């Protein structure tokens, strides 16, 4: 009887472990289909800032903090996007964020500051560091002669490597996937930048975002900005997924 009882217990434990494994697998599958609440907030904040919609940005910033984004993470989102839509939009976003933080502080809400960017120990030139980051993002070696706009205006290729992909992308307050969400949100908001949006959607897939999560991104653009912007983003996304 004792032996039978032990077998039953072992059987139950095995069933529980198997069931837990199935649940974990289902949870992982579901998590790959949608953006997290924090990621959704990053998309909304970036898109509204790029569009200059400050009245709607305020509640989005509040939602981002409530979702668990730190003050420094949101600041980093607002700083990052200036490379794609300019200082005026970025600074107005930061000023709006300052107002939100003051209002929350007056209500007794103490938001988490979060980590600062880690010091850069790499002694290589910014150009070489940016080149390496771009290779990681695209999954392609950055070798060979320059073509297109880089050949036409070589200085902008240097600025891109040294500043955008080194000085900005190597700041670890946000991971690559989060920075890509900021980037595609801005590009979708400003419009007329389909080649860049195409490139960055491909990079999104390279850094671990799934097709389903990118579809979720388009849905957020629709609810945040409107049908026009979502339709344009959807068209580019469809092209990217078709050609993968």
Burial class (CB in 10 A: 0-12, 13-18, 19+), 21: exposed
Instruction: Name residue, tokens 């070696």.
Output: 141
| Long-range contact set of residues 191-195: C-beta below 8 Å, sequence gap at least 24 | 191/229, 191/232, 194/232, 194/236
Q: In degrees, to the nearest 5, what angle opens at C-alpha 210 toward C-alphas 157 and 202?
A: 20
Could you list the mean pLDDT of each consecutive 10-residue stretch along the chain, which spans 244 residues? Answer: 57 51 48 93 98 98 98 98 97 98 98 97 95 94 88 95 96 98 98 97 98 98 98 98 93
pLDDT in the model for residue 24: 46
pLDDT in the model for residue 144: 81
The whole-angstrom separation of Cα 172 and Cα 64 is 19
pLDDT in the model for residue 4: 53
| pTM for this model (two decimals) | 0.87
What is the residue extent of each domain of the chain? 37-113+172-243
pLDDT in the model for residue 244: 84
The whole-angstrom separation of Cα 100 and Cα 177 is 26
What CATH number is given for 37-113+172-243 in this structure? Answer: 1.20.1290.10
Residue 63's nearest CA partner among 212, 226, 230, 224 is: 224
């Amino acid at each position: 009887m004792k032996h039978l009882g032990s077998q039953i217990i072992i059987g139950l434990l095995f069933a529980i472990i198997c069931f837990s494994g199935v649940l974990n697998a289902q949870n992982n599958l579901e998590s790959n289909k949608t953006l997290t609440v924090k990621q959704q907030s990053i998309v909304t904040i970036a898109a509204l800032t790029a569009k200059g919609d400050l009245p709607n940005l305020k509640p989005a910033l509040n939602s981002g903090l409530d979702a668990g984004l730190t003050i420094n993470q949101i600041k980093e989102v607002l700083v990052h996007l200036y490379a794609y839509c300019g200082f005026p939009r970025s600074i107005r976003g930061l000023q709006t964020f300052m107002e939100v933080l003051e209002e929350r502080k007056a209500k007794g809400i103490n938001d988490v500051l979060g980590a600062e960017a880690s010091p850069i120990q790499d002694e290589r030139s910014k150009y070489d560091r940016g080149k390496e980051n771009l290779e990681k993002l695209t999954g392609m070696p950055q070798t060979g002669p320059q073509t297109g706009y880089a050949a036409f205006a070589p200085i902008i290729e240097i600025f891109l490597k040294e500043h955008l992909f080194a000085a900005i992308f190597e700041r670890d307050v946000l991971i690559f996937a989060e920075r890509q969400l900021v980037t595609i949100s801005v590009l979708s908001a400003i419009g007329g930048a389909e080649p860049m949006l195409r490139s960055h959607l491909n990079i999104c897939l390279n850094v671990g975002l799934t097709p389903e999560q990118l579809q979720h991104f388009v849905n957020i653009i629709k609810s945040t900005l409107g049908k026009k912007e979502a339709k344009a983003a959807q068209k580019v996304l469809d092209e990217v997924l078709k050609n993968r």
